[in-house]
Structures are given as structure tokens and as C-alpha cells.
Structure 1
Amino acid sequence: MPIDVVLPCLNEAAALPGVLGAIPDGYRAIVVDNGSTDYSPMIAARHGATVVHEQSKGYGAAVHTGLLHAESSIVCFMDADGSLDPHLLPRLVGPVATGGADLVAGRRVPTVREAWPWHARAGNAVLARLLRRRGLPVHDIAPMRVLRRQALLDLDVRDRAFGYPLELLLLAARAGWRVTEMAVPYRERAAGTTSKVSGSVRGTLRAVRDMAAVLR
């Protein structure tokens, strides 16, 4: 059975051909459309992805729907905007498959300054510092993750907005998970796409608001 790759999607038509074309052999792309107003679902299907729809707005809602539609015992999650390279997935899957880690998270290393605006990096650094104080050795609220499907379901992550990744990490720390970070290049998004989180100060503030609610 192929390993499922969940890709939350909102107006990523420009990026999807490149992202889906780079999905490695032995992996299946599940594109979760979260209300796109462009041709994202059609383009995803044309490039071989399984397309599902989630009408409730929110990153966490899309991720959770993708998880429910996944069938493989190990599941990967990554953004669909072209900022991350799917070719790296087998390297992240390895420690989970061999039992060396419960969660492998991609630690973003920007290839150019524009790939990760200062406001997004600052917000991420503050949250990661808080997680380290709680005993979790991470430096990024990673948008690229690999873990076992049933283990994630058992964590029972409830947030359905931008707080989802943070809640996942907090619950993983509480459960005593072995978390490993791997450096992954973080590129500029594909032309024609806009980050829903880090592309603007407003988006960053909205994400920090959601994550602060999780911390409370």
C-alpha cells in the first residue's frame, strides 16, 4: 500500500502541478480542498491526486479530513504551495517506519530571505521556545510532518484552525512521543500562490492568535 501524503489546499492551482509531479513513487497524494475559488481541485485530479473536500474553513479542518481519508499506517503532511520538496518525504518517513521516532518534523531552512518573512520567523521562534520549555526539542512549528495514522488519531487533536500544529506538538510532548527534527529546504512559494499564514503580517497575527488560544 502506498504511503499517503495529505496536502491541505486553498487556491494552489499554480503550485499543484509541480508539487504533485514531485510526489515519489510509492506515495499517494490526497489533496484536501478547503474551498478554493480557482481550479485547484480539477488540476489536482488531473495530476493524479485523490481529491476530497472540506467545507469548514481552517487548516486544522483540512488536515483532519485528510487524515480520515488516509489509509496507510504512516501518513505524511505538507503544504501544497511549492515551498517544500516532496522528494524529501522518504528521508522523513525512515525513522517512523523503523520505530526510531514517533514523529519526524521538517525544520525549515529558508533558501532565500523572501521564503520566510521576518514576522513569520519571529512568531515561530517564540512558539518553538515555549515548546522547548515544555520538554519538546523542536525549533519549528513544522508544516512538513510524518507520523503513524492511528497514533495521531489517538492524540485527539481538536483545533481546526492554525493552532492545529501547535496542539499536536503539545499533545505529543504530554504523551511522551519521541520527536525528531530534520532540516528541509524552504523555498519561495510557487508564483501565483499566497501563504495563508506567513505571507502577511495579518496572516501571521491570525496564526499566533489561534496558537495562543491553544496554549491557554
Structure 2
Amino acid sequence: MKRLSIIIPAYNEENTISLILDRINEVKLIRNIEKEVIIVNDCSKDNTEAAIQQYMNNKENLTINYFKYIKHDVNQGKGAAIHTGIAQATGDYLLVQDADLEYDPGEYNTLLKPIVLGSADVVYGSRFMGGNPHRILFFWHSIGNRVLTFLSNMMSNLNLTDMETGYKVFRTAIIQRIYLHEKRFGFEPEVTQKISMIPGIRIYEVGISYYGRTFAEGKKIGWKDGFRAIYCIVKYGLFNNKMFVEKNRKINSQQVRV
């Protein structure tokens, strides 16, 4: 493994985007793995773009080997931003990093350990296992996450503890071949159902910390997304009639700045 692609979907994250980039920059990956950062600005209405441009223009003391900045002309949703980032990734593996500081880049090496040992194709970072710090927030949100994970496991025949986690690491060659449809938060249940159907795929789970936000602090996911997740679990678990993209598909580069 030579390069890790880090996809950052960003929508109205002017207050935290520079901070998360600083934290990524501070991380030294095991075995001198290179870092490729792909920021997908999903048509933010605030000063997210200006903050990103300022950071990219200041290249002193950066440990990030490659930068890509992509802007959607219209807001499409977190899932759509992730799709764009996946299409542009050149690393051997890729992960999704939210821009809101809920997940700690300092734990990248924990996520990568099963991969560099040659054991895993996919690694999920679980908020519900291990002894790492977790912010105490909403009871019903935690119950909802566990219910969605239980339903997902029933359909996929996996034994995950946290299907909805924002930290998922994929072998790039695999995830780029999977047809992904969901444009919003349905990405998590869709991709989980689809990777579970790949023969011989090796999926691991490791414990991570979680620094959650309240809605007042900018959290965007709501109860409607929970119902959509149930729909996606059933849809892609039982009626998944399109798994892979065409082998020679042309990847669209939407205003890519390197």
C-alpha cells in the first residue's frame, strides 16, 4: 500500500474545514503511506470555498502529498459528494473523512492496521466497540443506529456493530467498480449491502472514538434519513439488480483543481 485517498465531502463547513485539514496534515501514516486529500465542496453557501482555497495556497509544512479540490455546481447531497471523490481517487485504498470534527484523523493508523497486515479489503471504524472516548449525546439516536445496524446485518449476513459509521476504508479498485446510487445519507446502508455481496471480500471492524455534534452545532442528519436508511437496507438487500458499473466508464471531472 503506497497511497491513501482521503475524501472530504463538505457542505457549509467554513468553521471546521481548516481544522480538519490541520489534523490530517499532522498525521504520519504507518509505513510512509502517502496522503491524497480530495475535497468535494457540495455547493456550500458560506465561505467554505474561500477557506479551502486559502489552505491549498499555503503549501508550507504540508505532509499531504496530493490535493484535489472539486466543486459541485448544485447541492447534490453527501452521498453524491462521496461518489465524486471515489471517482477521482488514485490511492490503493480510500476513506471518507467528514469535515465536522466528529471523527479523529489521528486514528487513521488504527483503521489501516488490518490492511497493512494483508488481512482486509474493507475496514469499518465502530463507535460502539473499544475503550476510546465518546461524547455523550442522544439516547434515541444511539438506539436508532443500533436498530439500523441490526436490520442491515440481517440483510447482509454480517455482524457489524456500527453500519452507520462515518469511518469506512475501502480498497479503491473494489469501491470504484460498485454502482452507487444514493445521493444523501443512504450511502452507508447501500454500500454496506453491496460490498457484503462480493464473494471473498474481507471486512474488518476496529474501535474508534467519536466527538459528536448536536444539531445546534451543525449536525445535518435527521429522522427522515433514518427512514430512508431502512428503505435502502431493504431495497439493496433484497432487490439489488445493479451491482457494478461498466468496466470502461468515463469518469467525469467536475471542476477538478489539483
Structure-2 separation of matches of 1:192 and 1:52 = 28
Supply the AA of the counterpart residue of 2:227: R
5 Å-filtered alignment, 1:49-68, equals 50-54=68-72, 55-68=74-87
Structure-2 separation of matches of 1:53 and 1:126 = 35
Aligned residues: 208
| Among 176, 194, 202, the residue aligned to 1:171 | 194
Deviation at 1:96, TM superposition (A): 2.5
8 Å Cα contact 1:14-1:192 kept in structure 2: no
Percent of aligned positions with the same letter in both sequences?
Answer: 24
2:45 is aligned with 1:37: yes
| Secondary structure of 2:90 counterpart | coil
1:30-77: CA deviation from partner (whole Å, max 9, x where unpaired): 111112111112212322353211234211101000111211121111
Structure-2 separation of matches of 1:131 and 1:101 = 20
Q: Which residue of 2 aligns with 1:10?
A: 11
Q: Which residue of 2 aligns with 1:200?
A: none
Higher helix share: 1
8 Å Cα contact 2:127-2:134 kept in structure 1: no
- TM-score w.r.t. structure 1 length? 0.87
Deviation at 1:105, TM superposition (A): 0.9
Structure-2 separation of matches of 1:42 and 1:71 = 25
- TM-score w.r.t. structure 2 length? 0.74
Q: Which runs of 5+ in 2 are unaligned?
A: 29-33, 57-66, 236-258
Whichever of the two has the greater Rg, that structure is: 2
| Secondary structure of 1:42 counterpart | helix
> Quick one: structure 1 residues 118 and 191, their matched pair in 2 at CA, closer, same or farther if it must change by over 3 Å?
closer
Structure-2 separation of matches of 1:39 and 1:121 = 32
RMSD between superposed Cα atoms in Å: 2.2
Deviation at 1:8, TM superposition (A): 0.8
| Secondary structure of 1:113 counterpart | coil
Q: Which residue of 2 aligns with 1:136?
A: 158
Instruction: Provide runs of 4+ in structure 1 moved above 6 Å.
Output: none
